[in-house]
Amino acid sequence: MKSEQTKISALLNLLEDEDSQVSTLAMEQLLLLERGADDLLQEFQEAANPRLRGRIHQLGSILKIRRSRNAFIHEALNSTLSLWAGLLHINYQYNPRLNFESVDGMLNELAARLPAKLTTVRLCAFLRDENFQYTQEDTLGSDLFLVEDVLVQRVGSPILLSVIAHCLGEKAGWHSSPVLYHGRHCLIDDSHGNLIEPADGWKITRYSRDDRLHPCGDRDIWLTVLCQLFLAAMLEGRLQAIHRVGAILARLCGAGTGSLPYPLGGQVS
């Protein structure tokens, strides 16, 4: 016990080092303590030394993100998470500044303005009037796959637009199923079998049994969004987002981070 306290004291001293590489190595060791790290957060979050205080807050942020990621993976693997909640967790991993309550509030504000006795036609007209749309100008941008950005900008990928329509409808008793149709994500109206295409101005067509549709479960949607965000993070050079999103992808696919491409895991090919 005494040796552990001595080690923690030494790491705390290193955490105050002016050299960021030294403090980063110390932080990595402190993160391995888990519960011990919580005690440090409580004790030193108001430390007089501004450098130590800042790095303790950084340590707390890393722990919060890591625990949220582990919780999401656990619930996703055990199917105890809603589609919407899962997308919020993914958004948070990509952008830790996300405020869950704020994004939920945006969706609820939209739901409160839905037409009475909601139908497929009324929902699509509402979303069209609200300017929710798909653009092909930058199909790989991360903002097209993050629920917060799509709700704010009103521009999103077909998969995010489909999910928003699906979740809004659920709040009003209108039920639908996300599907993949001709390579694009759409919705099927559960009551009448209407096909809704967000990428085509919310066009509604009668679904033909001859059309080939691929039903999309919650996990299918999460994996698709994660893959797109992984690619976006690579293109944007966001190393932390690459690591966080890549770690989730690996776990949900039953693999370790070692299976990911170099430099996250594995060797240079």
pLDDT at residue number 169: 97
Query: Tokens in use for 39?
Result: 């005690």
DSSP annotation of 207: P
pLDDT tens digits, one per residue of 90-137:
999 999 999 999 999 999 999 999 999 999 999 999 999 999 999 877
* Rounded Cα gap, residues 145 and 21, in angstroms: 33
- Residue 268 pLDDT exceeds 60: no
What's the mean per-residue pLDDT of the chain?
A: 86
- Which is more confidently placed, 66 or 51? 66
- The kind and range of the H/E element at 221 are helix 218-236
pLDDT at 37 over 60: yes
| Percentage above 90 pLDDT, the chain | 59
For residue 1, pLDDT over 60 is answered with no
Predicted local distance difference test score (pLDDT) of residue 72: 96
Higher pLDDT, 230 or 55: 230
pLDDT digits (tens, 9 = 90+) for 132-162: 999 877 778 999 999 999 999 999 999 999 9
Task: Provide mean pLDDT across the span 59-84.
Answer: 92
Measured between alpha carbons, how far is 267 from 269 in angstroms, rounded to an integer?
A: 6
* Tens digit of each residue's pLDDT (9 = 90 or more) over 244-266: 999 999 999 887 666 665 556 65
What is the rounded distance in angstroms from the CA atom of residue 30 to the CA atom of residue 56? Answer: 10
Quote the longest CA-to-CA distance of the chain: 72
Name the pLDDT band for 35 (thresholds 50, 70, 90): low
Give the model's pLDDT for residue 215. Answer: 93
Judge whether 173 and 186 are in contact, CB under 8 Å.
no
Report the C-alpha gap between 35 and 233 in whole angstroms. 31
Report pLDDT for 46.
67
Domain limits of the chain?
Answer: 2-77, 83-219
Please compute Rg for the chain using Cα positions.
Answer: 22
- Residue/partner pairs of 194-199 with CB below 8 Å, 24 or more apart: 194/120, 196/120, 196/124, 196/162, 196/165, 197/158, 198/127, 198/132, 198/134, 198/158, 198/161, 198/162, 198/165, 199/134, 199/158, 199/161
8 A C-beta contact, residue 159 and residue 218: no
